[in-house]
């Protein structure tokens, strides 16, 4: 079940983001270096659009949309706990984010993808529009877009 995140979810959402990122085999040191970028605070929850996917009483995943600018919206984060991967939760989160974006009159969704997640996003209609260098020299992250 998808429900709006609450202020008290901040720490748990951050831990989900870190654990989810780790499934790609990144070192603990590298994951920790991304902690600040992957931190969800209660302030962010109060100002942005964040929904969580509940399985019974456990948060299995979440997404975070920035507020729309003109006719575009950015999917800042979408993470699923490793033990819930391949159960359709990521797709449900993404589909819900599309519906939310459309309700805010967004015509396109943009995201900065982990290279490992590109096949998933492509399967959901995203295409690469650019790339930017990550904090790791020589590593580039694709910027992807989906027309809504």
Query: CATH number of the domain that 129 lies in?
Result: 3.40.630.30
Give the pTM: 0.94
pLDDT score at 83: 95
Task: Determine the structural domain holding residue 130 and report its residue range.
Answer: 2-147
> Residues 5, 44, 119, 27: what is their CA dihedral angle, to the nearest 10 degrees?
-110
Tokens of 105: 């009159």
Q: How many domains does the chain have?
A: 1
Which residues of the chain, if any, have pLDDT below 70? Answer: none
**53, 52, 66, 56: which is closest to 7 by C-alpha?**
52
Tell me what pLDDT residue 137 has. Answer: 77
Which pLDDT value is given to residue 135?
76
Digit-coded pLDDT (tens) for 96-138? 999 999 999 999 999 999 999 999 999 999 999 999 998 777 8
């Amino acid at each position: 079940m998808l429900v709006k995140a609450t202020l008290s979810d901040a720490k748990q959402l951050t831990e989900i983001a870190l654990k989810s990122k780790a499934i790609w085999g990144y070192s603990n040191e590298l994951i920790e270096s991304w902690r600040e970028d992957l931190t969800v605070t209660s302030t962010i929850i109060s100002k942005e659009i964040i929904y969580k996917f509940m399985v019974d009483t456990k948060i299995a995943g979440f997404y975070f949309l920035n507020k729309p600018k003109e006719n575009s919206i950015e999917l800042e984060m979408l993470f699923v706990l490793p033990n819930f991967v391949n159960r359709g939760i990521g797709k449900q989160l993404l589909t819900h984010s599309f519906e939310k974006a459309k309700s805010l009159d967004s015509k396109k969704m943009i995201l900065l993808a982990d290279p490992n997640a590109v096949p998933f996003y492509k399967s959901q209609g995203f295409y690469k529009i650019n790339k930017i260098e990550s904090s790791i020299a020589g590593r580039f992250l694709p910027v992807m877009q989906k027309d809504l």
